[in-house]
Amino acid sequence: MKGKFFIQTYGCQMNVHDTEYMCAILNKAGYAQAQTLKEADIILLNTCAVRQKAEEKVYSFLGRLKAFKKRHPGLIIGVGGCVAQKEGERILKRIPYIDLVFGTHQFFRVAELIEEVKKNGHRICCIDYTYQLEPPCHVFPLSHKMYGRAYLTIMQGCDNFCSYCIVPYVRGRQISRRSENIINEAKRLLDMGIKEIILLGQNVNSYGQDRLEEISFSELLFKINKLPGLKRLRFITSHPKDISPDVIKAFADLDTLCEHIHLPVQSGSDRILKRMGRKYTRSEYLQKIEALRKACPEISITTDLIVGFPGETKKDFKDTISLLQEVEFDAIFAFRYSDRPPAKAVSFPEKVNEQEKAERLSEVLEIQAPITERKNRVKKGRLLEVLLDSYSKRGQQLCGRTRCNRVVNVEGDESLMGHLVEVIIEEVLPHSLKGKVVKILD
């Protein structure tokens, strides 16, 4: 064993999956995973830069590591992911005890870069865009923290350049994997006993648009749906402009495709949507919501919202409120706008002050809370299919999700992990459900 590594992960499911790959690569290279910071010889951060708060968390954590480095001068500290891609050499200049900075296209090289630091004693910054999306053939990631579920990356990057968004600058331009490789990886996951596959991408339903020879996203869904052993299929995250009629039809036709879609609207105002560069109108978004619910009446729809975008007037904000009330999302993720250089909106005038942003965010959450609670309440007394895949936050119960993506906690022992079970819902909480296992379904 060459040593022990600890990885602290921030951000989206793509970052979580990248960390799974890094763990597999380092294991293959002879390193073991440490359970705590104190026992680690190598500490890596896989970072997120999408929002300012996420980046602040990274620097706060790095500040804590100064004492670790002082006590253990041989400790290697590395920063990877989106903050690394965005800041590059500036991280090495700002924090003298950092040894390695590697970008979003370099995590497959993590073991090689660590060996270079150990051998030469030099600090390294590697943030080149290689556009190598296919994983090394000798490693295969599978999280020990998820039972029965697995992520599968089908594309990376984004070509939309929404005016508030940093993703194209830190993840690069869109690149889709070959469908043949995706299908083969899905088969391998199913052979290992995986029941639910979650397709990942920054704009997953634009899959194939950068490869003229490739199949479309809807065709990919239909192909994966046919694979033996697959019980559930999900995908995240979608852009409303790329939700085609064929993708909507898939919710009606595919038995494995779960009744849930995350469809970020960001604003209910046409004027703000145009300033954001979202390439759809409020009316077009609502038409797609109507089509989804017609194709799949049981579908759960969640969304993202940004309040306080530059130039957002009280009228624009009221348009967002009215959209919330009209659509009645099952859940929302709402955020205050923050400048993310080099995104275009950084230079926009008419910035909304922080107090106004906070008030608008509170109002959005206050309006959504009873909608979510009411939609959860109708589940009480129902029998729902749940895949038990993790432990509750306090570790006292088993946790899983329904097909419509609601979190359910149940009593039970570890032997139920990874199983599809039928649960009767007994209690409704603000953000989850509680129930009792009635029977094992698989």
Residues that constitute the known binding site for [4Fe-4S] cluster? 12, 48, 82, 158, 162, 165
Q: The dihedral of CA 380, 323, 356, 11: what is its sign?
A: positive
Distance, CA of 325 to CA of 323 (rounded, Å):
5
Question: Can you name the residues that pair with 383 across neighbouring β-strands?
Answer: 424
Known binding-site positions:
12, 48, 82, 158, 162, 165
Beta strands in 111-193 (DSSP E): 124-126, 149-153, 155-156, 175-176
H or E element at residue 438:
strand 433-440
Integer Cα distance of 386 and 412 in angstroms: 13
Task: Specify burial of residue 16 (Cβ count, 10 A radius: 0-12, 13-18, 19+).
Answer: middle
Cβ contact 273:300 at 8 Å: no
User: In 3D, which of 201, 169, 211, 232 has the Cα closest to residue 405?
Assistant: 232
Edge-to-edge strand ranges of the sheet holding 149-153: 149-153, 196-200, 232-236
Q: Looking at residue 215, what DSSP letter applies?
A: P
- DSSP bridge partners of 46: 9, 80
Rounded CA gap, 428 and 375, in Å?
A: 10
Residue 367 CB burial class (10 angstroms; 0-12, 13-18, ≥19): middle
Residues in the chain: 442
Give the containing element (helix H, strand E) for 423. Answer: strand 420-428
Q: In this structure, what DSSP letter does residue 442 have? A: -
